[in-house]
Structure 1
Amino acid sequence: MTDALILLGTKGGPAIRPGGPNPTSMLLNLAARRIVIDCGLGVSRGLVETGMSLKDLDLVFITHLHSDHVLELGPLLHTAWTTGLEHPVTVFGPVGIRAVWAGFLASLAYDIETRIADEGRPDLAEMITVVEYGPGIVLDLPDLTVEALRVDHPPVVECFALKVTGAGRTLVFSADTAPFPPLADFARGADILVHEAMLPEGLESIIRRTGNGARLREHLVASHSFAADAAAIAHRAGVGMLVLNHLIPADDPAFGEVHWRAAVMPVWDGPLVVGRDGLVISL
C-alpha cells in the first residue's frame, strides 16, 4: 500500500448533478493504515474505484454531521460487511455519531438479521466500534496520531479540523469552516493542508440552482471560507502544499481550475492542488 491522499468526493454540499463530482470523502493511506475521512454520497464506489477492497476498511473519521459528510457512513459499513469484512472497524465522529449509526442499524434491521441467519455473517453491530470525540487527541498509536480542533461552522458546533501524523508526515483537514485563524497554528508546518474553498463569483450561480436565495447566501458566507481565506491560512501556517477541497461551486462549467488558481494567487505562491474526484496525491 503506497502512502497517498486520494480525493474521492470534492463537492461542497449534498446535491449531485449529471456528470458532476460527489460530496465530500477522502481516503488517506498512511502508516500502513487506510483512513477514510468523511462519508458523503459516493464514498463506497469511490473507494472501490481506487482498487481498494471494502473488506480492508480500517479507520473512519467524520468531521461533522452535515449530510454531505456522513450520509453514506452506514451504507459504507454495511457494504463492506456484505463484501466480506471480517475484522473490527472503528468510527470516530463528533457527539451524535452514535445515534447516526444506531439509526442506520434500526433502519436495516430486517436485512441485517436475515443475512446473519441466512448467510452466516457475523453480527454487524458487534464489528463496529463508534467513538465520539471532542477537541484534542482523538487517536494515539505508536505510529499514528490524530488530533482535533473545533472550527467555526455555524450553526454546527461539533465540527472539527483533523491533524493526522504518521510515517514522518502531517496532514491537516480543515473540515467545513469560516475563516478561522487558530487553524493556522493547528496546521503549522504541516506537509499538506486540505482546506474547503468557495469562489465569490460562483455564489450566485449555486444559489440560483439550489434555491433558498438570501438565506442560503447568508449561510455560505457565514459558515464557509473563500479560496483566498484558505490561502491565507496556508501562508500563515507555512504548510508544504495547499489542497482546495469541498469546492463551492464544483460542478458549474463556467468555473474551472484557472479561476481557483487566480483566487489564491495574491496570497499563496506555494504548491497548489485544486481538488477533483479521483485525484491521487502521493506522499
Structure 2
Amino acid sequence: MQHMTRRNILRAGATLAAAPFLPAWAADDAAKPASEAKPKSRLILLGTAGGPTPKPNRAAPAQVIVVNNTSYVIDCGNGVARQMILAKLKLASIRNVFLTHHHSDHNADYGNLLLLAWATDLAKRVDTYGPPPLAEMTAQFLALNDYDIRTRIADEGRPPLKDLIVPHEISAGGLVMQDDNVKVSAALVEHPPVEPAFAYRFDCPDRSIVISGDTRPSQNLVKLAQGADVLVHEVMHLPSLEQLIATEPNAKTLREHLLASHTTTEQVGRIATEAGVKTLVLSHFVPGGYPFLKDEVWFDAVRPYYSGNLVVGHDLLEL
C-alpha cells in the first residue's frame, strides 16, 4: 500500500484528488449533505522554483488560495499574473496579496500583478500585506508606471490604481487579517540576512493551510503549523547543492547563504512531523532547475522523516 501511495502521488497531475487518499477535510465534507458542506478552499501552486533566476521547468515562487471565488495571493515571483491566467483564475478575483519577505524571487512582480490585474478587469480595492518597506515599494511602483496609468485612466476610463492598492506593513507575528472567508496569521521565521521574514497560516472554512516562505528550521513555524491540514514548505536537496553551487561565480557566499537560511529534505520532514500536519507539500525547490531532480528523489529524501500525505509540488498543481 505504501508503494502504491507513493507511485500514485508522483503521478498526480492537476489535483490531490487523483491520489489514493484524500485529506481528512475532503472525506468529512463528502459525507455531509450538500446544505451542510463548507465552502471548499482551493490551493494552487502558481510557481514552485527556488531562487531569483528564471527556470525552464518551474515558475517563480507564488501560491494562491481561493475561497468563494476570492483569491488570496501569497508571494509574487516573476510571471505570477500569467500563472493565474493559466490556472483559469480571474485577476479581478484578487482581494489580498501577502509577501513573505523581500527577496526578488518572492516580490519581483508584486506591483506588476496589480498593474496587470487593473489593466485587465480589477476595479476593487486590494489590501496587501508584508514586511517594510511595503508602503514605499507600492508608492515607487506607482510612480514608475505613472505614465501608463494616467494614459489608461484617460483612454480607457479606468479608476485610479493608487486608490485600489492599500499596503499594510507587518513587523511581528500574530493576526494579520480576517474576513468572511479566511483568518490569516503570521509567524516570524528565520531567513538570514533578510529580516523580517514571515510564514502565513490561512484558516479557511474547511481546512487550514500554512505557507512557510523562505526559512531555515523554525520553531515559530512549527507552532504556527501545529495540526494544520496542509503545509507548503520550501525544500533544499543537500546532495545536489554542490553541483548547483559549482555553476555560480559567487560559490562560497551562495553556499553559506543556502545552508544558513533554508531547509533540507530531512529537516522539512522532521518539521512536518513535529507540527503534526496532515499533508506536506514540497515547493520552492533548491535546486529548482539544474541539476534536474525527478520527483522520486525529492519524495524518497523526505519520506523517512514524515509518514503523512506527502506531495511533490509542481506549477499549477491544485490541492
Same fold (TM over 0.5): yes
Q: Deviations over 1:59-112 (max 9, x none)?
A: 111111110000001111000111021111111111111121111111111111
Paired residue type of 2:195: V
* Greater alpha carbon shift after TM alignment, 95-104 vs 59-68: 95-104
Report if the CA contact (8 A) 2:41-2:207 is conserved.
no
Which is further off, 245-254 or 221-230?
Answer: 245-254
> Aligned pair 1:216/2:254, yes or no?
yes
Residue of structure 2 in register with 1:52 after alignment = 89
Give unmatched runs, 5+ long, in structure 2.
1-38
Residue identity opposite 2:240 in structure 1: G
- Are residue 43 (structure 1) and residue 80 (structure 2) matched? yes
CA apart distance, 1:115: 1.4
Aligned partners of 1:138 and 1:268: how far apart in 2? 30
- Aligned with 1:176 (options 203, 210, 214): 214
The residue type paired with residue 132 of structure 2 is: V
Greater than 3 Å deviation, 4+ residue runs = none
Match of 2:264 in 1: 226
Which of 149, 153, 157 pairs up with 1:116?
153
Residue by residue, what CA displacement relative to the aligned partner does 1:119-147 show, whole Å, maximum 9, x if unpaired?
Answer: 22110001111111231100123542101
1:135 and 2:173 are equivalent in the alignment: yes
Q: Which has the larger radius of gyration?
A: 2
Aligned residues: 280
How far did 1:2 drift?
5.3
Contact 2:67–2:181 (CA under 8 A) maintained in structure 1: no
Aligned counterpart for 2:317 among listed residues 271, 276, 279: 279
* Residue number in structure 2 paired with 1:159: 197
The change in CA–CA distance for 1:142 and 1:48 in structure 2 (over 3 A counts) is closer
1:12 matches 2:50: yes
1:66 equivalent among 86, 96, 103: 103
- Which residue of the partner structure matches residue 283 of structure 2? 245
1:240 CA displacement: 0.5
| C-alpha deviation, 1:253, in angstroms | 5.2
| 1:215 Cα deviation after fit | 0.6
| Equivalent-residue separation in structure 2 for 1:254 and 1:88 (angstroms) | 41
Identity of aligned residues (%): 41
Which residue does the alignment assign to 2:26? Answer: none
- Pick closer, same or farther for the CA change 1:3–1:142 going to 2, 3 Å: closer
- Whole-angstrom CA distance in 1 between matches of 2:223 and 2:64: 24
RMSD of Structure 2 on Structure 1 (CA): 1.5
- Alpha-carbon distance in 2 for matches of 1:27, 1:76: 13
